[in-house]
């Protein structure tokens, strides 16, 4: 099963991807997480992409495609995977088309104003990657990760100015991909204005429907 989760920044891709990955037993392959890890570890890739991440700009296609190719060729991706944050440009989508055929693109649709509020309140665990929100999904213990006890942080790219820039980049570079996949009959639109569980239910319906179709 090869799924793509698609939608503007802060549409809830990461949260839903974690849930889908658990339910269907396939790894969540998040370019954002892979890139942030590379930056934190100061690997050669991390040094090259740091300024892109800090400014909310997209990293170069060739580096990102190579990163994905390496990740999906690992043994845990044999049974399938869930792409979160990739592809983000037409160039990346064309490379993915050459690599494999995805089963469905879950396209989260949400109003941009809602997204700014969501992003700015988001807190992430730098150690295990768990994601919370100060208003909509607060951790039981303020500022502390429920899963591993680490201190939660606001990602640099969740600061308001960066969020607005990421939305602009999404509108200009990533939104056209919806049409690319719609033409292929791969898009399932998901109403992302609902709560976490209601959004998840819509996705499960689509994914369960895949295995029932001939």
Chain residues that interact with ligand AMP, rule: CB under 6 A? 9, 31-32, 35, 52-53, 56-59, 64, 85-86, 88, 92, 157, 166
Measured CA to CA in angstroms, residue 2 lies from 28, 38, 72, 187 at distances of: 10, 24, 11, 13
**How far is residue 70's CA from residue 26's CA, in Å, rounded to a whole number?**
16
Residue nearest ligand AMP by beta-carbon distance:
32
- Choose between 37 and 186: whose C-beta lies nearer to ligand AMP: 37
Q: Can you list the pairs that 62-70 forms with residues at least 24 positions away whose Cβ atoms lie under 8 Å?
A: 64/31, 64/35, 64/88, 64/92, 65/92, 65/95, 67/31, 67/34, 67/35, 67/38, 68/29, 68/31, 68/96, 69/99
Q: Provide the annotated active-site residues.
A: 13, 88, 122, 155, 166
Shortest spacing between CB 92 and ligand AMP, in angstroms:
6
The nearer residue to ligand AMP, 35 or 105, going by C-beta atoms, is 35
Q: Which CB sits closer to ligand AMP, 33 or 103?
A: 33
13: exposed, middle or buried (Cβ count in 10 Å: 0-12, 13-18, 19+):
buried
Measured from the CB atom, the residue of 172 and 201 that comes closer to ligand AMP is 172
* CB 64 to ligand AMP: min, Å: 4
Least distance to ligand AMP, CB of residue 166, Å = 5
């Amino acid at each position: 099963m090869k799924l793509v989760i698609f939608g503007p920044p802060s549409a809830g891709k990461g949260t839903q991807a974690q849930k889908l990955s658990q339910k269907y037993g396939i790894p969540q392959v998040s370019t954002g997480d892979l890139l942030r890890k590379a930056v934190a570890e100061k690997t050669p890739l991390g040094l090259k992409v740091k300024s892109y991440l800090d400014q909310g700009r997209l990293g170069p296609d060739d580096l990102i495609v190579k990163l994905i190719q390496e990740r999906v060729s690992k043994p845990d991706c044999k049974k399938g995977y869930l792409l979160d944050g990739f592809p983000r440009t037409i160039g990346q989508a064309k490379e993915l088309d050459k690599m494999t055929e995805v089963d469905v693109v879950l396209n989260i649709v949400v109003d941009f104003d809602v997204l700014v509020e969501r992003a700015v309140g988001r807190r992430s665990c730098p150690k295990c990657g768990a994601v919370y929100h100060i208003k909509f999904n607060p951790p039981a213990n303020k500022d502390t990760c429920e899963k591993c006890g680490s201190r939660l942080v606001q990602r640099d790219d969740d600061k308001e100015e960066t969020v607005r820039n990421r939305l602009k980049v999404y509108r200009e570079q990533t939104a056209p991909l919806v049409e690319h996949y719609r033409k292929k009959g791969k898009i399932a639109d998901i109403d992302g204005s609902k709560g976490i569980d209601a959004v998840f239910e819509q996705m499960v319906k689509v994914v369960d429907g895949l295995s029932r179709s001939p």
